[in-house]
Structures are given as structure tokens and as C-alpha cells.
Amino acid sequence: MANVAIPLMKKIEPDKGQRLWPWQKWFVYGSLTPIMALLLFFSILPVLWVFVLCFYNYSPTRAGSGFLDMGGANPFIGLGNFKAMFADLQTSAIFRKSFVNTIMFAILVLPINLAITLPLAVLVESSQARLKGFFRAIYFMPVITSAVAVAIMWGYIFHPQQGLLNLMIKTIGLTPPRAWLTDPRAVYFGIPLAMIAVIISYIWQDFGYNLVIFIAALQGIPNEFRDAAKVDGANAWQEFWQITLPLLRPTMLFVCVMTTLSSLQVFVPFQVMTNGGPAFQTEVLVKNIYDNAFRYKQMGWAAAISIVLFLLVLIFTVIQFRLLRSDSGLEY
Amino acid sequence: MKKRLIYVVIIMAVVLSACAKTTTTQAPVVPTKAAEPTSPPPAEKVTIKVWSHSNPAFQKANDLLIAKFMAQNPNIEIKFETFEYDLYLQNLETSMVAGTEADVLELFGTWICPQYAKGGRLLEVPEDVMTYAQAKEIFFQAPLDGYYCDGKLYGLPHEFNLENGGALVNTALFEKAGIPFPPKWATFDELLADAQKMTEVTDGAMAVAGWDPITGDGLTFTLLAGILEQGGNYFASDGRHFNFDTPEAKKMIQTMVDWAQKYKVVDPIVFTDESNSVSTSFFTGNMAIGFIGSWAAGEGIISYPDFKFDYVEIPTYFGGERRFAADSGWGKVVSAHTKHPLEAWKFVKFVTAELDSAVIYNTNSGTIPALKALVENPEKVLAVEPWIKPTFDLLPHGQYIGNLTDRDKLFYEIVYPNVLQAMQGVITAEEAAQKINTDTNAMVDAAQ
């Protein structure tokens, strides 16, 4: 048996990969080429194109003089778009506001999301086996629901006259806000009420995704660690804090990065529920990019904002990787 | 390694060449020059492509006109393609760069000069099709002038886009408040007095707005009309920059602030374009008088057939002569990339300038005619859309809104939020006027 196995194992050694038969090579190239072409033309080239456009005052409604209408009526302006971000213009002011709002949204969403999903995941995981699947399904349902439908639904819930939320607040004898989504003077702790309303709707839809990931991670922690802690006299809180949480660190990193990435790029609830209002208090970068590119047809300006968003996402991701990188050596 | 790379390049080249569209070399087109009718009428069948947005009413109007045109012109085949509104605009942007847009495009008149014509994307109307002088004879000035830039005509209008001078009225609320219907308002104060009677506040929150002009279009058109009614002008002397820091602009904004703060006929926090917009709130019974174009009445009849309402003329804001600025509405233009300009212009003229075609277009799309003849002999149109009758007396008083540099930015990013904030009491009317003045001029400077 061993005599047969050894030559076979030699054949699939990684460093001998070049010994593939020609038909195998063609199969590999043939399989990979379409997906590579797809990636190239619909992801990589558009991204590269944004890096080119951001240096032009480019509008697709103007016929330029050069390649793809670059030049002439769509002139190269160097860093002009980036300098304009600091100018005393309405467009620049809206960009700066959207920049701040985007960061505010991402910073608020992450801790709230974690504060809900992690304890809830522990609770679901500790519930009866038969109920686990039920809870997972219930909490995951909003994730697979259309974002537009969810935004419209929450728009109705927050409606100042017929909204369910105001009705409930009135029922318990309290006075609801005059308008959740449209009052520019309603600001609590520096956060506009409209932004709070959008955060509520966004987290409602999004938390199920992180919940399922945390549940999976919790199930992956071997019981031996917990049993050992119990033997050492740890109570439930100590077990969670000293054992579970450190072992969830890689999952936490993934959840933090993904949640931050997605919340920096949120568009639908802002577009549908508030349209950036009131007084641009919920204008965010992606909506600003969309408006400038497709509503006002200022593609060069929109591309420059896209670069800023790209850098913002990059910086947030790097910071999170640095902060949550596991140096403790805790593995299981 | 090099060999592998070559294989990958070859495969990709094969795949891409299979996917690529076969292209032929195109003769260069000088976009701003008129297409000269150099070729004789086609012996072979020519196919021209027409693009529009997919609003069902507009689609039906175009379908009927295309069928009629093809029956009369068997040598010309029309391929009509529609897109969902936002997608249509995105398609235009990308296809114009690639030169793959349709021969004939349905575009909104106010976009033509500052964007597409200035950008060299459109053909000028050939003189043997129609001169500007001829067009002025048959079309209203306001819709036509959207297609007329720097002494050149770039297309022909279908509709007079009117957002001024009329309002939706909820007949049940008039009855409930004991107000005679139809209303005979001689002055705007009389309208406000009736609006106050119909305004309802429940538990401290406004449940029914008596008079609501708060939409992105509504506030801007009201401001412009108010300025013009007082004899003012919102353009600076160079015709490109703006002048909103004027007594007329401040007075009009203060008038709008008073509607909310003094007369309390609308709550500008609860009734905004984002939440409780006129087009939706009116038909849910939360509004007595809603300031909006007559197109909303057409949509309301289809979407809310059991809702009792009417569309009536409203008085001028300051009691003087009626004057207002109007957008140039939807019309047809010809792409600079077309290979069949003769046939394309023949189609455009047929669908816009011929009386029977205009009847088909306006009655099916629910729009106000751009052709003067249809308003002078309105029986055919009014038989289908009687609610637009109050608008007919208004049309001669309208002037084209002008080259706004970026119409949507001015309306939705500058005027609307500033006037709304003034109505909400966040800034004063004077501050709003100054802010609008600064931001609109900065927009013009940035575009230059």
C-alpha cells in the first residue's frame, strides 16, 4: 500500500505543478479567463478609470477632444477637484458635511451593532437547540430583505402623522418629536435626529448578518476551554470575559472591518428616507458621489470624492487591523 | 512564464473579440453645425433608433406616434427603446461618450442648452426643417426657448412644462369647511384665508395643511414668479450670473416664510419634499390646496380614481400682472452621432410640429401642449384632459426660465434647502436670499 501511495503523493506536490498536462493547463486558463475578464472590465478598469477622471473637469454631456472625450471641453485640471474640496463653495461645503456625516454614521453604527449582536449571539447560542434555528432565521430575515423596501417601511414608521412610532409614543403618554426625518433643529448630543432615525433603520436591517457570524464563531470555540474555566471556579461573566471574548477576537476583527466598510458605503436609506436632508444633515459621501455623477453630471468631481471615500475606507480598515490584530497567540 | 502569459493574452483576446460589438468607421460629425440635407431620400429602408424614459403615459404616446409615422413612411423603421428614468439619464451619459446613443432622443428642454447643446452632443435643426422664426410662430416661447441657444435651434418641444399658477384642491375639505366651490380667489390673501379655515392641527401636530407649496420645484418656481411679478429679475446684467440679493427676492422669501410662521397654513417641518410631498400628501387627504403642476392631476386621476379633487387657477402673489418663469418641457432632439439626420429630423418634425401628432402626444402623456394652435382650438385636448383648462389662460404669461447653468443644482441643492430653512425659522429670509445669491453665482463661476 505504501509503495503505491508514495509516487501518487509526489505527483501532487505543489512544487511540481508545472508538470500539468497541456489539456489541464488549457482547462485552468479557460476556466479562469472569463472570470478574470469580468473582474478586469467591471471592477479593476472602472476603479482605474476613477483615478484618471478625478484629475479632469469631466462631464459626459460635453464632447471633449481626445480619447474618450478627455481634454478640450473636459480639461485636465490636475489637483483642481481636490483643492475645490476646501473651497468656500456650496458644493464643497456639502462634500465636507457629507464627509463628517459618513464618519459619524460609521462610528455610531459599529459599537451599537456590536452591543446588540454579541450579547444576542451568546443568548441565542445558550438557548435550546430547537429554538436556535428559529431565532437565527428571524434575525437574519431583514438582511435578505430589499434595502429599498426596508427604507420605505421605516419611512412609514417614522412618519410624523401616520407613523407607528409616534402612535406608540403617544399611547404611553409621551410627546413624540415633531418630525423624525425632517426637523433640522432636532439635534441630540450633537447628532441630528434624522441621522439617529437612519441609524436605527440601518442597524435593524444589518445586525442579523453579524449575529449569524458571531453564533458560528461561538459554536467554534471548543467546550474544553469553558469546562476548564468552570473547574477553576469562573462564573458566567468571567467565562465570557476571560475565555469567550478573547477567542472571538479574529471574528471581532472581521465583523468590525466588514461593518465599517459597509456603513461607510451606505446609500439606500439615506436616499430613500431623507434624501440627504434636513439641511444636508444626512448627506453622506456615497449619496454625494451619486448626485454629482448622475444628477449633476460632474463625473470628475464625483470621481475625486470617490477617491476620498476610498482613502477613508482604507484608513479605517488599516486602523482596525492594527487595533484588533491578535498578538496574544490565542488560537483554537 | 512568458508562454503562459501569451496564452492568457490570446485567450482573453479571443473572448473579448467574441464579445465586442462590430464597429464601422464613422465619418466625423461637426456637432454644432446644422446637418445638411446632402443625400436624396432613401431608396433602402432606413432604421433610426429613438430613446425615451419609460413613464407609461409617455411610452404610450410615443408608441402611437411611431406607429403612425411608420405607416406614412414605409422606408423608415423606428426602433423605440425606453429606460427607467434614472437609468435613461445614466445610459445617455455613457452612450454619448461612446457614440452609441439613439438617433433621436427625448430630452427635457431646460437641460438642452447648458448641458447637451453646449457640450456638442446634438445636431442643430436644419433650416429646411424649421427655422427659429418659424418655430416661434407655432410654439409657445417658454418651451421653445429651452431648445434655442446662442442663436441656434437644437430641437422641438412637445410640452409646456407648467408648475405655476395652478393648484390641486381637495373638494371634500372645502365642503367640510363650508367654503364655496369652485373657489373665486381675487387675491392671494383670500386664498390664504380659505387655507387657514381648512388647516387642521391635531395633538399639536399639523394634520392637514391648508396651503402647501413645499416641493423642490414648488419653492423655486414660487420664488422666481414672485420676483418677476414685482418687476424684478433673477439674472444679473451679464445674463449668466444671478442676482437674488434683491428687495424683490427677499420680499418673496419673506412672503413664503409668512405662510408658515404668520398664517400657519403649512408646517415646513412636517410637510417637506422628502416627507409628505405635495404629490403624495394631497391624495391622502392631508392637504387642502397643493401647489404643483397640472401633471399631478393627470397622475392623480389614474392612481386615486375615487379621490374627489380639482385643479384650479390661483391668484398672483402680489396682485399685479401675472408673470412667471417656466421650464422648457420634454421634446425631441437629434444626436450628433446619427448617420441618418434627414430621417431623424423628419420624424422629430412629424411628432412635435404636426397638430394631430401633438394631440396624440399631449393627451396620452397628460401634458400641456407646446403648440399654440392646440391651445387656441383646445377641444380635442380638453376632451381627454379637462383638468388642464385652467392652465391655458396662464401660458401666454410665461417666460422661459433661462440658462440656469445647472438647473437641478440650482433648484434642489441651493434654492429649495435655503428657502425651506427660512420657512422653518432656521435662517432669516434675508440670509436665505444672500445664501442663494452667493451659491448660485459660485455655481456659475465653477462651471466657467
Q: Does A83 touch chain B (CB under 8 A)?
A: no
Of B96, B272, B442, the CB nearest to A89: B442
> Do residue B435 and residue B313 come from a single domain?
yes
> Do residue B343 and residue B433 come from a single domain?
no
| Subunit contact B94:A60, Cβ cutoff 8 A | yes
Q: Looking at residue A328, what is its pLDDT?
A: 53
Question: Which of these three, B400, B416, B436, is where a domain ends?
Answer: B400
> Do residue B191 and residue B44 come from a single domain?
no
Mean residue pLDDT across chain B: 87
Span B121-155, pLDDT tens digits = 999 999 999 999 999 999 999 999 999 998 999 99
> Do residue B176 and residue B216 come from a single domain?
yes
- To the nearest whole Å, the CA of B366 is away from the closest chain A CA by 25
B174: CB partners within 8 A, 6+ apart? B180, B181, B183, B194, B198, B288
B253 pLDDT higher than 70: yes
Give the neighbor-by-neighbor strand order of the sheet with B398-400.
B160-161, B324-328, B398-400
Q: Which residue has the cell 490570446?
A: B10
Give the neighbor-by-neighbor strand order of the sheet with B46-53.
B76-83, B46-53, B104-108, B330-334, B155-157
Of the spans B33-42, B189-198, B280-289, which averages the highest pLDDT? B189-198
More confidently predicted of A172 and A63: A172
Question: Which of these three, B400, B423, B439, is where a domain ends?
Answer: B400
* DSSP H helices in B20-84: 56-72
Nearest residue on chain B to A182, alpha-carbon basis: B269
Separation CA B185–CA B168 (nearest Å)? 14
Report whether B242 contacts B234 (CB < 8 A). yes
> Do residue B219 and residue B342 come from a single domain?
no
Nearest residue on chain A to B29, alpha-carbon basis: A63
> Do residue B260 and residue B363 come from a single domain?
no
| Lowest-confidence segment of A13-22, B107-116, B272-281, B355-364 by average pLDDT | A13-22
Q: Looking at residue B31, what is its pLDDT?
A: 35
| Subunit contact B115:A61, Cβ cutoff 8 A | yes
Mean residue pLDDT across chain A: 88
Q: Which domains does chain A have, with CATH numbers?
A: 87-324 (1.10.3720.10)
Nearest residue on chain A to B418, alpha-carbon basis: A279
Nearest residue on chain B to A161, alpha-carbon basis: B207
Number of other CB atoms surrounding residue B115 within 10 Å:
23
Q: What percent of chain B has pLDDT over 70?
A: 90
Report whether B331 contacts B370 (CB < 8 A). yes
Residue B437's nearest CA partner among B201, B223, B178 is B223
pLDDT interval class at A67 (50, 70, 90): confident
Cell matching residue B211: 396651503
> Do residue B34 and residue B111 come from a single domain?
yes
Q: Looking at residue A145, what is its pLDDT?
A: 94
Sign of the dihedral through C-alpha B116, B220, B54, B364 = negative
* B138: CATH: 3.40.190.10
pLDDT interval class at A332 (50, 70, 90): low
Q: Looking at residue A128, what is its pLDDT?
A: 86
Span A165-212, pLDDT tens digits = 999 999 998 888 989 999 999 999 999 999 999 999 999 999 999 999
Domain tally for chain B?
A: 2
| Subunit contact A34:B205, Cβ cutoff 8 A | no
Nearest residue on chain B to A288, alpha-carbon basis: B413
> Do residue B131 and residue B259 come from a single domain?
no
Question: Which of these three, B361, B383, B400, is where a domain ends?
Answer: B400
> Do residue B199 and residue B316 come from a single domain?
yes
> Do residue B394 and residue B421 come from a single domain?
no
> Do residue B314 and residue B269 come from a single domain?
yes
| Subunit contact A61:B421, Cβ cutoff 8 A | no
Q: Does A92 touch chain B (CB under 8 A)?
A: no
Span B302-345, pLDDT tens digits = 788 899 999 899 999 998 889 999 999 999 999 999 999 999 99
Q: Looking at residue A178, what is its pLDDT?
A: 86
Q: Identify all chain B residues contacting A280, using CB atoms and an 8 Å cutoff.
A: 417
Q: Does A86 touch chain B (CB under 8 A)?
A: no
Q: Does A114 touch chain B (CB under 8 A)?
A: no
Q: Looking at residue B115, what is its pLDDT?
A: 83
Q: Which residue has the cell 404629490?
A: B279
Of B15, B119, B274, the CB nearest to A277: B274
Average pLDDT of A236-265?
A: 90
Residue B443: how many CA atoms within 13 Å on its side-chain side?
Answer: 29
A residues 130-169 lying closer than 8 A (beta carbon) to B = 155, 159-161
Separation CA B109–CA B115 (nearest Å)? 10
| Subunit contact A63:B8, Cβ cutoff 8 A | no
Domain that holds residue B129: 3-161+327-400
Span B215-250, pLDDT tens digits = 999 999 999 999 999 999 999 999 899 999 999 999
Span B13-23, pLDDT tens digits = 444 444 433 33
Of B4, B275, B408, the CB nearest to A159: B275
Q: Identify all chain B residues contacting A182, using CB atoms and an 8 Å cutoff.
A: 269-270, 272, 274-275
Residue A65's nearest CA partner among A76, A55, A78 is A76
Residue B328's nearest CA partner among B145, B152, B61 is B145
Suggest the residue from A182, A281, A288 to mutate for an interface test with chain B (most B CBs closer than 10 A): A182
More confidently predicted of A64 and B416: B416
Write a three-state SS string for chain A. Answer: CHHHHHHHHHHCCHHHHHHCCHHHHHHHHHHHHHHHHHHHHHHHHHHHHHHHHCCECCCCCCCCCCHHHCECCECECCCHHHHHCCCCCHHHHHHHHHHHHHHHHHHHHHHHHHHHHHHHHHHHHHCCHHHHHHHHHHHHHHHHCCHHHHHHHHHHHCCCCCCHHHHHHHHCCCCCCCCCCCCCCCEECCEEHHHHHHHHHHHHHHHHHHHHHHHHHHHHCCHHHHHHHHHCCCCHHHHHHHHHHHHCHHHHHHHHHHHHHHHHCCCHHHHHHHCCCCCCCCCCHHHHHHHHHHHCCCHHHHHHHHHHHHHHHHHHHHHHHHHHCCCCCCCC
> Do residue B272 and residue B421 come from a single domain?
yes
Suggest the residue from A20, A32, A97, A297 to mutate for an interface test with chain B (most B CBs closer than 10 A): A297
Phi and psi of A57, rounded to 5°? -90, 85
Q: Looking at residue A70, what is its pLDDT?
A: 84
Separation CA B134–CA A207 (nearest Å)? 64
Angstrom CA distances, A6 to A10, A18, A21, stand at 6, 19, 20
Nearest residue on chain B to A274, alpha-carbon basis: B274
